Amino acid sequence: MKDLCLQYNYFIAKKEFNIKKDYFEKGISYERQMNYDFAIHMYKKVLSIDKFHLEAKERLYHIYRNTNKTNKVNEVISELLKYNNSEYIGYHYKFNSLMEEGKFEEAEALLLKISNIFRNMESLKLDYITYLVSIEKYKEAKKIINSIEKSNCYYGIFNIRKVLILLAMGKKEEAISLLFSREIYDKENIIVNEMISLVANRDINVKSTIKHINRLEEKIEMSV
């Protein structure tokens, strides 16, 4: 009888997994077609089966953010912090929201609150650099970047921030040299090409540019 119960539970779990997978893949398909209402409907169907489904929430956040539905963005963030609080992504989204509202003290407080949990996570360090640049504490931000090992796969991403900091500190030649260095330069890299264009064509506002780069990286990461 016990074996029969286990088999039944396995069957139910497998069926739910396949249904979730089907809904999620349909959501991706609709999103590629820019049919966002249908995509949202599919992702919500996934969450009606599994409220912990992280990827469906990420997709909803991405759609709502790109369509400027701030209230819906905040709803997704709340769901992430409630059901997926062992993952950094919800805190990252909350940090972005606070920064965009100009609530720098609250943004810093959030990062400090979770620093013991996610201490060694590169995403937390990148967010803290964004905060430091926003309040013009360039030397502190640069110190964090300089602590990143060359072997770290995020090394180039951190050094893109270093380019911005050098520009803010009036060290344009050093910034350009770093941008074209072996560690960063890649003609296929969208972020690098964007930076080259920004540096070449006009004087840049470092605070707004780091927001722009963060948003561009997010779009690339979440592209379908």
Higher pLDDT, 38 or 7: 38
pLDDT surpassing 60 at residue 12:
no
| Model pLDDT, residue 202 | 62
Q: Residue 214 has what pLDDT?
A: 85
pLDDT of residue 8: 41
Tell me, what's the pLDDT at 218? 85
The CATH class of 1-69 is: mainly alpha
Look at residue 201 in the predicted model and tell me its pLDDT.
Answer: 64
- 172: closest CA among 149, 148, 143, 195? 195
Cα–Cα nearest to 12, from 53, 50, 39: 50
Number of helices (H) and strands (E) in the chain: give both, helices first: 12, 0
Q: Is the pLDDT of residue 61 over 70?
A: yes
Q: Average pLDDT over the chain, rounded to whole?
A: 89
Residues 142 and 29: their CA atoms lie apart, in Å, by 41
- Confidence band (pLDDT; 50, 70, 90) for 115? very high
What's the pLDDT at 11? 46
| Residue 132 tokens, joined | 């430091």
Where is pLDDT greater, at 202 or 197? 197
CA dist., res. 198 & res. 219, Å (int): 18
Q: State pLDDT tens for residues 173-188.
A: 899 999 999 888 888 8
The residue ranges of every structural domain in the chain are 1-69
| Side chain identity, residue 189 | N
